[in-house]
Chains A and B, each alone.
Chain A
Amino acid sequence: MTTLTKPEDAPAAGASDAFLSVRDLHVRFATEDGVVKAVDGLSFDLERGTTLGIVGESGSGKSVTNLSILGLHNPLSTTIEGEIVLDGKELITATEPELEKLRGNKMAMIFQDALTALSPYHSVGRQIGEPFRKHTGASKREARERAIEMLEKVGIPHAKRRVDDYPHQFSGGMRQRAMIAMSLVCNPDLLIADEPTTALDVTVQAQILDLLKDLQQEFGSAIIMITHDLGVVANMADDLLVMYAGRAVERGTVREVLKTPQHPYTWGLLASMPRLTADVDEPLTPIAGAPPSLLNPPSGCPFHPRCAFRNEVEGADRCVDIRPELPTGRGAACHLTSDQKSRIFTETIRPRLG
Chain B
Amino acid sequence: MLRFILRRTFGAVLILLLISAFTFFMYYAIPQDPATLACGKNCTPDALAIIHKNLGLDDPIPVQYWKFLSGLFAGRDFAVGHCPAPCFGVSFRDQQMVWDTIMDRFPLTLSLTIGGLLVFLIVGLGTGLIAARYRGTWLDKTFSSISLVLSSMQIYFLGPVVLGIFVYSTGWLDKPKYVPFSENPAQWFMGLLIPWIVMSVIFTANYTRMSRSTMIEQLQEEHVRAARAKGMTGRYVFFRYAWRGSLIPILTILGMDLSALLGGAVVTEFTFGLAGIGRLAVDSVVGKDLPKLMGVMLFSAAFILLLNVIVDALYAVIDPRVRLS
Q: Are B320 and A116 in contact (CB under 8 A)?
A: no
In the complex, the answer to whether B245 meets A103 with C-beta atoms within 8 Å is: no
Interface assignment of B279: CB less than 8 Å from any CB of chain A? no
Q: B318 contacts which chain A residues (CB < 8 A)?
A: 121
Give per-residue flags for A116-127: 1 if the beta carbon is below 8 A from chain B beta carbons, else 0: 111111110001
- Determine if A96 and B234 form an interchain contact, defined as CB atoms under 8 angstroms apart: yes
Evaluate whether A72 and B225 lie within 8 angstroms (CB atoms) in the complex, with A121-B244, A121-B319 already known: yes
When chains A and B are docked, how far (Å) is the Cα of A135 from the Cα of B135? Answer: 29
- CB of B321 within 8 A of CB of A182, answer no
CB of B31 within 8 Å of the partner chain: no
Task: Count B-side interface residues using an 8 Å CB cutoff.
Answer: 26
Quick check: is B324 within 8 A (CB to CB) of the other chain? yes
With A72-B225, A111-B222, A113-B222 in contact, is A120–B320 under 8 Å at CB?
yes
CB of A104 within 8 A of CB of B221, answer no
Chain B residues 66 to 86 lying within 8 A of chain A, measured CB to CB, are none
B135, B136, B230 interface centre (most CB from chain A within 10 Å): B230
Q: Which A97-119 residues sit within 8 Å CB-CB of chain B?
A: 100-105, 108-109, 111, 113, 116-119
Residue of B nearest to A169 (CB): B324
- Residues in A with CB closer than 8 Å to B321 are 120, 166, 168
Q: Which of A104, A121, A166 contacts B230 (CB 8 A)?
A: A104
Among B223-254, those with CB < 8 Å from A are 223-234, 240-241, 244-245
How many A-B contacts at CB < 8 Å in the complex?
84
Q: Is the CB–CB distance between B229 and A70 below 8 Å?
A: yes
Q: A100 contacts B324, CB within 8 Å?
A: no
A103:B231 contact, CB within 8 angstroms: yes
Q: Do residues B231 and A117 form an inter-chain contact, with CB atoms below 8 A?
A: no
Known contacts A96-B234, A113-B222, A166-B324; is-contact A119 B319 (Cβ 8 Å):
no
Give the secondary structure class of B's interface: helix
Chain B residues within an 8 Å CB radius of A100: 231-233
Q: Are B230 and A131 in contact (CB under 8 A)?
A: yes
Does A130 lie at the interface of the complex (its beta carbon under 8 Å from any beta carbon of B)? yes
Give the complex CA separation of A113 and B222 in angstroms: 8
Q: Are B232 and A121 in contact (CB under 8 A)?
A: no
**What per-residue 1/0 map shows which CB atoms of A196-221 lie under 8 Å from chain B?**
00000000000000000000000000
Q: Which residues of A from 41 to 72 have beta carbons under 8 Å from B?
A: 70, 72
A128, closest chain B residue (CB): B230
- Docked-complex contact B231 and A116, CB < 8 angstroms: no
What does the 1/0 interface line of A160-202 toward B look like (CB < 8 Å)?
0000001011000000000100110000000000000000000
> Judging by beta carbons under 8 Å apart, are B222 and A121 in contact?
no
Q: In whole Å, how far is B92's beta carbon from the nearest beta carbon of chain A?
A: 53
Whether A111 contacts B226 by the Cβ 8 Å rule is yes
Shortest Cβ-Cβ A-B pairs, 7 listed: A104-B231, A104-B230, A103-B231, A116-B222, A131-B230, A117-B226, A119-B223
